[in-house]
Structure 1
Amino acid sequence: MFELHANKVATVRNDILSGLTVALALVPEAVAFAFVAGVEPLVGLYAAFMVGLITACIGGRPGMISGATGALAVVMVALVADHGVEYLFAAVVLMGIIQIAAGLLRMGKFIRMVPHPVMLGFVNGLAIVIFLAQLVQFGTPGDAGWLSGTALEGSIIDVAWLEGQALYSLLGLVALTMAIIHFLPKLTTALPSSLVAIGVVSLLVIGLGIDTRVVGDIASIKGGLPSFHIPAVPLNWETLTIIFPYSVVLAAIGLIESLLTLRLVDEITETRGRGNQECVGQGVANTVTGLFGGMGGCAMIGQSMINVNSGGRGRLSGISAALFLLLFILVASPLIEMIPVAALVGVMFIVVIGTFEWSSFRVIRKVPKGDALVLILVSGVTVATDLAVAVLVGVIVSALVFAWEHAKQIRVDSLEDHKGSTVYTVHGPLFFGSVTSFLEQFNPAGANQDVVMDFADSRVCDHSGLEAIDTLADRYLNAGKTLHLIHLSDECRHLLKRAGSLVEVSVLEDNEDYSAHKMGVLNPFQPTDSPLQSQ
């Protein structure tokens, strides 16, 4: 009993301390993403609090952190610029409703369709994005970047770099933060190393009077409790036509990023989250956030990694992170605004190192070329555009590569049985990618009067396969010969029944006369007493 109680106390302590660490890292991220979306900093902070709290309570992945994210912010900016922030709140409410519907329809299971190379590309691309997002802290706000006048002007890497003592101080503090996070766990794990690093660097800067940028230089985070607020937009068809496209895109991006982050946390913690429950949790969180003046959000891979690496595993870690963030907004803003930005940058750099799949450099030479292409492509598209586009591109390319590879596996063997029939044995799947190769392997002019096609080692997968069979039937009919099909799977028979008159072939009932050996070669010496009957 004592051991159980001790472990429970340790778990609660770890969740609360890791939640505090996450809350500190959430502040500059939420403020930065609010600026990206073109809204006030408190809109981002309220979203981080409400989305984080609700998903931690009812979401499907304990230990995963949600809040305002850059992937959503880049979509929101156009809506805010064209129609104002009230339309954003309305779009966030509709976004949440769509996500709830997706969860109730159990669409979370479709994340299983994302191949592993796409997952690796997503992780690597997101790590790069997190790294690049920190570069702005190494620049002077308002000054022209070093890439002015080039095609990359205004991009995330177009920074007006600091110089001299300011740059050296920032680099030194970042390096110190990273060193503490890396080496402290080798000495003790009593406190999260990220939290200790932030505290030590903050005290060092304050005690020595080091001139470096702090959180208060970015924006003031002081505010009150979020209040209920119905979006001030006309409730008519025109409003729906404006916000609906944005809501669909935001819902899709939010669910994809959340479910992929859920899978990543599953792998790290060796536990299993609930995808459909997470969809509903994200939806409820965004619906409520939109009604309380927040910009909406989804799972945050960087903060989730901070939480997991700091020992946060339960729902309490996400709940405490959200409550600490609210506490910062209400009463502790002067203290939080004194934290050096360098300390938070150092924490995020450690997250980048831990998030990036360095093993992908090793395995990329060993996996099939198609998988390597998908991995690199998804990483690049994630950096260049956004996560939803990258995952969609990765899934499409993976599907095309899969179809191309399986299209080459179709093979047809032919022989003449003891009844004088030409028997073709088909090996491999018959679908849209393989029909051309399939048709090229038949010669109606050289076949006997009666032709049998054996599908014991094949499957007709789609309408293209049915159309190919119908094309063959026409060819043999024009040659004055008859085509029969045997050993069709139940799925193939079902397709043929549904096709009806679209496919005019004779499907024979399987019997011993046309039974196949395990290797797919028919036995021409098997006697038969019963005639073949049409199905």
Structure 2
Amino acid sequence: MFQLYYDHAAKAKDDILSGLTVALALVPEAVAFAFVAGVHPLVGLYAAFMVGLITSLIGGRPGMISGATGALAVVMVALVAQHGVEYLFATVVLMGVIQIGAGLLKLGKFIRMVPYPVLLGFVNGLAIVIFLAQLKQFQTPEGEWMSGSPLYIMAGLILLTMLIMHFLPKLTRAVPSGLAAIVVISVIVIFGGLDTKSVGDIASIGGGFPPFHIPEIPLNFETLQIIFPYAVILAAIGLIESLLTMSVIDEMTGTRGHGNRVCIGQGASNLVSGFFGTMGGCAMIGQSMINISSGGLRNLSGIAAALFLLSFILFASPLIEMIPVAALVGIMFMVVIGTFEWGSFNLLNKIPREDSFVGILVAVVTVFTDLAIAVVVGVIATALIFAWKQARHIYADTHINEAGSKIYVVHGPLFFASVHRFNELFDIKNDPEDVIIDFAYSRVADHSAIETIDSLADKYTQEGKTLHLRHLSIECKELLERAGDLVEVNIKEDPHYHVADDKLA
């Protein structure tokens, strides 16, 4: 019994310390994303607190950290610039409603359909995005790149942070390496009198508890027309990023999250946070990686991170603003190293070239656009490549039976991508008077296939030849317009399957 108590206490300590590390790293991220969206820094900090707390309480994947993200901020900036921040708050509320609806409709399970090359490209692309996002910390307030002593001090502190995070876990795991690095670097800078950028140089994080606030917008159809398109896009981006982050954590921890619960949790957090004047958010893969690597494997770590962040805002803003940015950049660089799938380079010559292409494509699109677009592009590319491969698998065995009829035994799926190759299988002009096409080893998949069979039957009829179609499903016979009478029906042998066609919808 005592051992069980100590085990739970040790795990709770890991979660709390990991949450503290995450909260410290959340501050500059949330402030930066608020600037991207064109809102006050506190709007981003409040979002990190409320979204992180609510998702961890009611629907988060254990170990996953949620908050304000850059993927959402780049979409929000146009809305804020054109219509103002009140419309943003209303959009966040509607975004939450849409995400809850997705969870209730159990759409979260479809994340399992994302191919592994797409997931690999997503992870690598996001690692590059995180790395590039840190480079702006090497700029002065005037936007110029650092040089001379400021650059050397910054680089040295970042390197020391990374060394601490690399070697400390080999000595002890009693304290998260990221937290230890922040403390050590802060002590060196403060007591050493080093002149380097701190969190306070980015923005002041002091404030009160986020107040309840109903968006001050006209409640009419015109408002809905403005916010609905943004809400749909933000909901889709948020869910895709959250569900893919869940998949990455699943792979890292050997456990399995619940996609529908994540959808509902993210939606509920955005619905509530929109009424407290925040920019909403979704899962953050960088912060989640910090949390997992620091031992935060349970929801308590996310709750602790949110509460620590709120305490920073309420009580400890002067202390937090003294933390050197170099320590936080060093932590994020270690996240980049840990997130990037370095083994993917070894896979380039071991997996099909098409899979390598998809992985690289997703990574590139992630860097230059956003995660949602990259994943959609990757899934579409994978589907098209799969269709192209399957289209090459259709062929026919032919022979002449004792009655002098030519029989085509079709093998492989017949669908939109294979119809051209299917038509090339037949020699209509030179075939005998009686032709039999046997679909016992094929499957008619869609309307393009139905149209192709109809067209082929029409061509044989125009040549004055008799065509028989065998082993087609009952549904195929119903859909065939010109060739319906040519189908031979065999109740015992004909297959039973459905064709993807909207005529029966």
Structure 1 match to 2:170:
186
Structure 2 match to 1:308:
292
Question: Does the Cα contact within 8 Å between 1:103 and 1:276 map onto a contact in 2?
Answer: yes
Distance 1:465 1:501 in 2: 13
Question: Does the Cα contact within 8 Å between 1:496 and 1:503 map onto a contact in 2?
Answer: no
> Per the alignment, do residues 44 and 503 of structure 1 end up closer, same or farther by CA in structure 2, a change over 3 Å counting?
farther
Structure 2 match to 1:421:
405
1:475 deviates by: 1.6
SS of the residue aligned with 2:257? coil
Distance 1:393 1:498 in 2: 36
Structure 1 match to 2:484:
504
Structure 2 match to 1:431:
415
1:494 deviates by: 5.0
Alignment of 1:127-526 (within 5 A): 127-143=127-143, 160-488=144-472, 493=473, 495-499=475-479, 501=481, 503-510=483-490
Distance 2:494 2:310 in 1: 74
Question: Does the Cα contact within 8 Å between 2:458 and 2:482 map onto a contact in 1?
Answer: no
Question: Does the Cα contact within 8 Å between 2:444 and 2:476 map onto a contact in 1?
Answer: no
Question: Does the Cα contact within 8 Å between 1:473 and 1:504 map onto a contact in 2?
Answer: no
Distance 1:119 1:86 in 2: 35
Structure 2 match to 1:156:
none
Structure 1 match to 2:26:
26
Distance 2:480 2:453 in 1: 13
Question: Does the Cα contact within 8 Å between 1:60 and 1:275 map onto a contact in 2?
Answer: no
> Per the alignment, do residues 505 and 338 of structure 1 end up closer, same or farther by CA in structure 2, a change over 3 Å counting?
farther
Structure 2 match to 1:52:
52
1:500 deviates by: 5.3
> Per the alignment, do residues 414 and 45 of structure 1 end up closer, same or farther by CA in structure 2, a change over 3 Å counting?
same
Distance 1:96 1:115 in 2: 27
Q: What amino acid is aligned across from residue 192 of structure 1 in structure 2?
A: P
Alignment of 1:104-119 (within 5 A): 104-119=104-119
1:420 deviates by: 3.0
Structure 1 match to 2:498:
none
> Per the alignment, do residues 170 and 465 of structure 1 end up closer, same or farther by CA in structure 2, a change over 3 Å counting?
same
1:497 deviates by: 4.8
1:166 deviates by: 0.6
1:393 deviates by: 1.2
Distance 1:297 1:494 in 2: 50
Distance 1:505 1:188 in 2: 79
Distance 1:273 1:502 in 2: 51
Q: What amino acid is aligned across from residue 402 of structure 1 in structure 2?
A: F
Distance 2:483 2:244 in 1: 42
Distance 2:26 2:117 in 1: 29
Structure 2 match to 1:95:
95
Distance 1:6 1:507 in 2: 73
Q: What amino acid is aligned across from residue 20 of structure 2 in structure 1?
A: L
Question: Does the Cα contact within 8 Å between 1:484 and 1:505 map onto a contact in 2?
Answer: no
Distance 1:413 1:42 in 2: 70
Q: What amino acid is aligned across from residue 315 of structure 1 in structure 2?
A: N
> Per the alignment, do residues 502 and 452 of structure 1 end up closer, same or farther by CA in structure 2, a change over 3 Å counting?
closer
SS of the residue aligned with 2:481? helix
Residues 489-529 of structure 1 deviation map (CA, whole Å, 9 limit, x = unaligned): xxxx25415525365253334489999xxxxxxxxxxxxxx
Question: Does the Cα contact within 8 Å between 2:478 and 2:484 map onto a contact in 1?
Answer: no
Residues 95-126 of structure 1 deviation map (CA, whole Å, 9 limit, x = unaligned): 11111111111111221222111111111111
Distance 2:301 2:279 in 1: 22
Distance 1:507 1:9 in 2: 72
Distance 1:511 1:75 in 2: 56
Residues 359-413 of structure 1 deviation map (CA, whole Å, 9 limit, x = unaligned): 1111122222221111111111111111111111111111111111111111111
Question: Does the Cα contact within 8 Å between 1:47 and 1:289 map onto a contact in 2?
Answer: yes
Structure 1 match to 2:121:
121
Distance 1:71 1:401 in 2: 28
User: 4+ residue runs of structure 1 moved beyond 4 angstroms?
Assistant: 510-515
Q: What amino acid is aligned across from residue 506 of structure 1 in structure 2?
A: L
Structure 1 match to 2:501:
none
RMSD, aligned CA = 1.7
Return the TM-score normalized by structure 2: 0.95
SS of the residue aligned with 2:429? helix
Distance 1:378 1:445 in 2: 47
Distance 1:374 1:505 in 2: 45
Distance 1:97 1:84 in 2: 21
1:238 deviates by: 1.0
Question: Does the Cα contact within 8 Å between 1:139 and 1:161 map onto a contact in 2?
Answer: yes
> Per the alignment, do residues 80 and 513 of structure 1 end up closer, same or farther by CA in structure 2, a change over 3 Å counting?
closer
Q: What amino acid is aligned across from residue 147 of structure 2 in structure 1?
A: E
Gaps of 5+ in 2: 496-505
> Per the alignment, do residues 240 and 512 of structure 1 end up closer, same or farther by CA in structure 2, a change over 3 Å counting?
closer
For structure 1, which segment, 257-266 or 385-394, has the greater mean C-alpha deviation from structure 2 after superposition?
Answer: 385-394
1:450 deviates by: 3.0
Q: What amino acid is aligned across from residue 270 of structure 1 in structure 2?
A: G
Q: What amino acid is aligned across from residue 467 of structure 1 in structure 2?
A: E
Distance 2:58 2:474 in 1: 42
Distance 1:99 1:456 in 2: 44
1:485 deviates by: 2.6
> Given the alignment of the two structures, is residue 78 of structure 1 paired with residue 78 of structure 2, yes or no?
yes
Residues 424-450 of structure 1 deviation map (CA, whole Å, 9 limit, x = unaligned): 111111111110110111012333333
For structure 1, which segment, 36-45 or 383-392, has the greater mean C-alpha deviation from structure 2 after superposition?
Answer: 383-392
> Per the alignment, do residues 499 and 22 of structure 1 end up closer, same or farther by CA in structure 2, a change over 3 Å counting?
same
> Per the alignment, do residues 368 and 495 of structure 1 end up closer, same or farther by CA in structure 2, a change over 3 Å counting?
farther
Question: Does the Cα contact within 8 Å between 2:66 and 2:283 map onto a contact in 1?
Answer: yes
Gaps of 5+ in 1: 144-159, 516-535
Once the two structures are aligned, what percentage of the paired residues are identical? 67
Question: Does the Cα contact within 8 Å between 1:18 and 1:307 map onto a contact in 2?
Answer: yes
SS of the residue aligned with 1:501? coil
Question: Does the Cα contact within 8 Å between 1:470 and 1:505 map onto a contact in 2?
Answer: no
